[in-house]
């Protein structure tokens, strides 16, 4: 009987998976027009469809889709490159491909392990429980192929990710869910998550519907019980306490770099300098508008400082303190496109962290049902055993890789048009940007 059920399930999964893939192939062609009701002012239907297109083709769209901005009337949608038309018309030669360097260093200090990634972006924390295992594997496979990293999030380190260990950031968050010394010991980067821009002051949460037996076992908790991470770490109330945390993980793994993920309060510059002196190599500031559909709207839209304001504040303060050349500043929170990422770097970040765009690449439609166990019909933000199978990791990784290949083309166009040979030369070069208010 089990064998019969397995065959029925396999056919059902295969049919639905093919429907997803075929649907994603058709949508970007605009053969049937833009679906009504898809997206929102930040993630417009054009941005969603253009991300699908890039994930399929590995190139920027040429079918009229706006892949540069949304329609939010603020933020990165109002920040533009002064030479945008020239950038879009720039042709990249094979020589440009070889001579334009997109790599960044994650450790600028004179001591410790040197670790470079080939592109100025890596995957943000999406935990086992908040997303499916197959999506996590897709991200890890893509990170390995692209020469970058991806983060476990706070839900533990599933065994299938071990084969990608050189490309996996282990996150250590306030709930300590799934934290084990053996996984900390193999991590190239250990990320402390003190706060998240989408819900600062609230801590993480995973509702009971998504806490399956597998998730409960990984998080060392009880099945179908809501899990809430406290805010903050109750052992950290000062920079001195923070330093003890950093010293602790460096004792467990002396070769790992330490990243500190914080939200963007008014004194985010003070937080950044404190983390630097506590021993962190990477300061990761996470602004508003990030997170999945499970993040409370009231929090993500009204609490944290938007990332485009926070980046120059921290960048300039670190320069003032004389340590900017010794710390890697990473930004996240609402960075949707290659142009958003480049704008963040021009404002002062060394690189960016990407989450939602990778989900959109494999089919996310922004339906907003991320908090439900069976809410995601694509198989991304689900823990349901059946729905989780809808994403084939090889297919999923290829889509994420293609999206970044398109972004690489765009980053090289930006640098070539600006006369730069390295993404590192763009850091803090805010004179190449201007602000234009959207009017609709």
Chain segment 41-96, per-residue pLDDT in tens: 899 999 999 999 999 999 999 988 999 999 998 899 999 999 999 999 988 887 77
What domain count does the chain have? 2
Q: What is the pLDDT of residues 299-341, one digit of tens each?
A: 555 566 889 999 999 999 999 999 999 999 999 998 999 999 9
pLDDT at 437: 75
Together in a domain, 157 and 61: no
Q: At residue 270, does pLDDT exceed 80?
A: yes
Together in a domain, 67 and 135: no
Together in a domain, 191 and 274: yes
pLDDT band of residue 398 (cuts 50, 70, 90) is: very high
User: Is 436 inside any structural domain?
Assistant: no
Together in a domain, 108 and 68: no
Together in a domain, 330 and 196: yes
pLDDT at 13: 58
Together in a domain, 206 and 59: no
Q: At residue 149, does pLDDT exceed 60?
A: yes
Distances (CA, A) of 231 to 116, 199, 263, 302, 358: 32, 10, 12, 18, 27
Domain containing residue 74: 2-79
Last residue of a domain, one of 79, 112, 128: 79
Q: For every residue of 22-85, which 3-state class applies, written as one string?
A: HHHHHHHHCCCCCCCCCCCCCCCHHHHHHHHHHHHHCCCCCCCCCCCCCCCCCHHHCEEECCHH
Together in a domain, 304 and 370: yes
Together in a domain, 7 and 155: no
Together in a domain, 272 and 403: yes
Whole-prediction pTM: 0.90
pLDDT at 92: 85
pLDDT band of residue 32 (cuts 50, 70, 90) is: very low
Alpha helices per DSSP H over 93-154: 94-99, 133-146
Count the Cβ atoms, other than its own, within 10 Å of residue 55: 26
408-419 mean pLDDT: 96
pLDDT at 157: 94
215-230 mean pLDDT: 83
Name the CA radius of gyration of the chain, rounded.
21
Last residue of a domain, one of 50, 79, 108: 79
Together in a domain, 230 and 266: yes
pLDDT at 210: 85
Together in a domain, 116 and 69: no
- Any residues with CB less than 8 A from the CB of 429 and at least 6 apart, and which? 346, 418
Count the Cβ atoms, other than its own, within 10 Å of residue 424: 16
pLDDT at 342: 98
Q: How far apart are CA 410 and CA 407, in angstroms?
A: 5
């Amino acid at each position: 009987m089990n064998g019969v059920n397995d065959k029925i399930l396999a056919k059902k999964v295969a049919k639905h998976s093919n429907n997803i893939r075929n649907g994603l192939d058709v949508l970007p062609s605009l053969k049937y027009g833009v679906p009504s009701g898809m997206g929102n002012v930040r993630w417009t239907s054009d941005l969603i469809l253009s991300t699908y297109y890039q994930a399929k083709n590995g190139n920027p769209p040429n079918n009229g889709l706006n892949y540069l901005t949304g329609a939010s009337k603020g933020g990165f949608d109002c920040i533009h490159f002064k030479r945008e038309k020239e950038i879009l018309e720039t042709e990249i030669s094979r020589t440009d491909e070889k001579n334009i360097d997109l790599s960044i260093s994650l450790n600028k200090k004179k001591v410790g392990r040197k670790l470079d990634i080939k592109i100025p972006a890596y995957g943000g924390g999406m935990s086992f429980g908040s997303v499916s295992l197959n999506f996590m594997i897709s991200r890890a496979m893509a990170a390995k192929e692209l020469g970058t990293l991806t983060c476990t999030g706070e839900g533990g380190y599933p065994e299938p990710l071990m084969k990608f260990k050189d490309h996996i950031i282990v996150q250590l968050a306030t709930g300590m869910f799934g934290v084990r010394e053996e996984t900390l010991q193999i991590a190239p980067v250990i990320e402390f998550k003190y706060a998240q821009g989408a819900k600062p002051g609230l801590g993480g949460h995973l509702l009971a519907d998504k806490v399956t037996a597998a998730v409960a076992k990984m998080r060392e908790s009880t099945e179908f019980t809501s899990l809430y991470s406290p805010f903050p770490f109750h052992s950290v109330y000062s920079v001195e306490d923070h330093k003890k945390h950093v010293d602790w993980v460096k004792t467990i793994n002396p070769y790992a770099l330490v990243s500190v993920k914080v939200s963007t309060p008014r004194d985010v510059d003070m937080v950044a300098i404190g983390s630097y002196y506590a021993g962190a190599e990477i300061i990761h500031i996470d602004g508003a508008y990030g997170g999945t559909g499970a993040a409370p709207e009231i929090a993500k839209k009204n609490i944290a400082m938007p990332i485009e304001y926070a980046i120059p504040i921290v960048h300039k303060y670190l320069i003032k303190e004389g340590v900017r050349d010794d710390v890697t500043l990473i930004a996240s929170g609402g960075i949707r496109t290659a142009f958003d990422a480049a704008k963040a770097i021009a404002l002062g970040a060394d690189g960016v962290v990407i989450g939602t765009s990778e989900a959109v690449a494999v089919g996310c439609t922004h339906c907003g049902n991320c908090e439900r166990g069976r809410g995601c019909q694509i198989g991304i933000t689900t823990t349901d055993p059946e729905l989780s199978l809808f994403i084939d990791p090889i297919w999923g990784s290829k889509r994420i890789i293609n999206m970044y290949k398109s972004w690489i083309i765009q980053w090289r166009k930006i640098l070539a048009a600006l006369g730069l040979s390295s993404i590192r030369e763009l850091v803090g070069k805010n004179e190449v940007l201007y602000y234009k208010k959207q009017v609709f």
